[in-house]
Amino acid sequence: MLAISADEISTTEFCTHIGGFRPEIQALSIVFNNCVPTKKIILVELTVPWEERCTQAHERKKAKYEDVVQECREAGWRAWNYPIEVGCRGFPAPSLGKMFQDMGIVGQARKLAIKKVSQAAERGSSWLWLRRNASSWKSSTNG
């Protein structure tokens, strides 16, 4: 069984176990080998910071989920935490390529995946920038 949850409002039952944290992607796998379950979870936390702040963002997100990963391991899960960063102008940090490589996405498929994630981050940042002055985003003065 493989279950993937991607930043949904309604989360899987497992997500209630991880103490209210909701990484962007959670991939869960339970495989039975000789009637013994092998449980695996991969947590992916994407951050889109200013390029100069990728290292700080990586360390902050890594620390944020350290206890969660340890909790999962203590509960019998094989757990991995992938804090990944793509700069707001679309430049991928090395963490993105490492995650894809560790998951077996290599060669041209890896290059294409990095390109698509980078383009999506850049488009999202551009969208936010273009709407920075929207009245619906202004602070309310009505307490």
pLDDT attached to residue 20:
60
- Give the tokens for residue 3: 């279950």
| Domain boundaries of the chain, sorted by first residue | 2-132
Q: Would you say 23 and 65 are in contact if contact means Cβ atoms under 8 Å apart?
A: yes
- Give the angle 123-128-20 at the CA atoms, nearest 5°: 95
> At residue 99, what is the residue type?
M
Residue 46: which of 104, 101, 92 has the closest Cα?
Answer: 92
- Residue 140 is predicted with a pLDDT of 61
pLDDT of residue 135: 82
> What pTM was estimated for this model as a whole?
0.73
Going by DSSP bridges, is the β-strand pair 36-47/25-33 parallel, antiparallel, or unpaired?
Answer: antiparallel
pLDDT computed for residue 15 by the predictor: 47
Alpha-carbon gap, residue 75 to 22, rounded angstroms? 18
pLDDT of residue 99: 92
Strand ranges (E), 48-107: 77-85
Average pLDDT per consecutive 10 residues, the chain (143 residues; last block may be shorter): 49 50 68 73 89 92 89 88 93 94 93 95 92 78 57
pLDDT of residue 134: 87
